[in-house]
Amino acid sequence: MTERTLSGERADILDMLAEQRKMFLITLRNLDDEQARTRSTVSDLTLGGLLKHVSTTEQHWIDTIRTLDDTAEFDMESAMEQYYMRDDETVAGLLERYEAIAEQTEAFVAGLADLDLQVPLPTAPWAPERQWWSARKMLLHIIRETAHHSGHADIIRESLDGANTTMQQGTDAGMTFD
């Protein structure tokens, strides 16, 4: 990430998002492409699919704020595709994309004039009437989505090979476990 000099609410939002990304990314450490595509639970979710999803979700909501399109509709087909890591995708490539999206998000939020900006949400089958959220609420939604899927990722990784976020954080802090 690039060094930033924000303060106040924007800094708090970006710090919390960075923290949630970091927690999510712990689940992908030392993971190869085959492991990233492996279903280790009864769910269809995989670590590679979740990485692709959180990246795409963050980019989607930032683009929604940026474009202010009051005719947008939710694209169900692309939404379902984003949960699956294709054979031609790699963990390294998906991580590189996520980092680029994170940098774009930070730059966009730093330059956003008003967190109270009212943004039209795309309509969807479950929300056929247009709703409007503040840019702030959309940014908080990105944080919630990242945290939500971080929990999924932790369970998938633990089922895959026993690794988990809490133990890794302890190890990173210099703790040893018997």
User: Tens digits of per-residue pLDDT, 100-140?
Assistant: 999 999 999 999 999 999 999 999 988 899 999 999 999 99
2, pLDDT greater than 60: no
pTM metric for this prediction: 0.90
Report pLDDT digits (tens) over 47-63. 999 999 999 999 999 99
Q: Where does 8-172 sit in CATH, by number?
A: 1.20.120.450
Q: Which of 24-38, 79-93, 97-111, 153-167 has the lowest mean pLDDT?
A: 153-167
Confidence of residue 170 (pLDDT cuts 50, 70, 90): confident
Q: Residue ranges per domain, the chain? A: 8-172
Q: Which of 3-7, 91-95, 108-112 has the lowest mean pLDDT?
A: 3-7
**Structure token digits, residue 156:** 């998938």
